[in-house]
Copies of this chain bind each other. A is one copy, B any other.
Amino acid sequence: MGTVAQDSGALTPRAADFPRWYQEVVAQAELAENGPVRGTMVIRPWGFAIWELLQSELDRRIKAAGAQNAYFPLFIPEQFLQLEASHVEGFKPELWVVTHGGGAPLEEPVVVRPTSETVVNHFFAKWIHSHRDLPLLINQWSNVVRWELRTRLFLRTSEFLWQEGHTAHATEAEASAYAVRILEDVYRDVTEGVMGIPTLVGHKTARERFAGAVRTWTCEGMMGDGKALQLGTSHELGDNFARAFGTTFSDPTGATRYVFQTSWGVSTRLVGGLIMVHGDDYGLRLPPALAPRHVVVMVVRAGESTGKAAAAVADDLASRGLRVHLDDRAEPSFGRRAIDWERKGVPVRVELGPREVAEGTAILVTRHDRAKTPVALAGLADAVVEALDTTARRLYQEALAFREARLRRVATVAEAIEAAASGFAVLPAASLDAGGEDRLAEAGVTVRCLQRDDGSLAPDDGDDLVAVVGRAY
Contact = CB atoms under 8 A, between A and B. Distances in A.
A122 interface: yes
A422 interface: no
A45 B98 contact: no
Contact of A36 (B70, B80, B142): B80
Contact of A48 (B48, B71, B119): B71
Contact of A123 (B42, B122, B143): B42
A76 B40 CA distance: 10
A161 to B, nearest CB: 7
Contacts of A132: 329, 331
Contacts of A37: 73, 75-77, 110
Nearest to A33: B123
A159 interface: yes
Interface in A119-139: 119, 122-123, 132, 138
A43 B68 contact: no
Q: How many copies does the complex hold?
A: 2
B145 A143 contact: no
Interface in A376-396: none
A95 interface: yes
Size range of the chain A interface in the assembly? 35 or more
A9 interface: no
Contacts of A41: 71, 73
A119 B36 contact: yes
A159 B73 contact: yes
A195 to B, nearest CB: 20
B97 A70 contact: no
Interface in A58-116: 68-77, 80, 92-103, 109-110, 112
A371 to B, nearest CB: 30
A96 B98 contact: yes
A35 interface: yes
A117 to B, nearest CB: 14
Interface string A22-52: 0000000000010111101111110011011
A52 B69 contact: yes
B103 A92 contact: yes
Contact of A100 (B49, B97, B161): B97
A402 interface: no
Nearest to A132: B331
A334 interface: no
A141 to B, nearest CB: 9
Given A92-B103, A101-B97, A102-B147, A42 B71 contact: yes
Contacts of A75: 35, 37, 40, 96, 145, 158-159
B102 A138 contact: no
A158 B38 CA distance: 25
Contact of A101 (B45, B68, B95, B329): B95
Contacts of A159: 73-75
A451 to B, nearest CB: 34
Contacts of A74: 40, 74, 112, 143, 145, 159
B77 A36 contact: yes
Interface of A: 33, 35-38, 40-45, 48-49, 51-52, 68-77, 80, 92-103, 109-110, 112, 119, 122-123, 132, 138, 142-143, 145, 147, 149, 158-159, 161, 329, 331
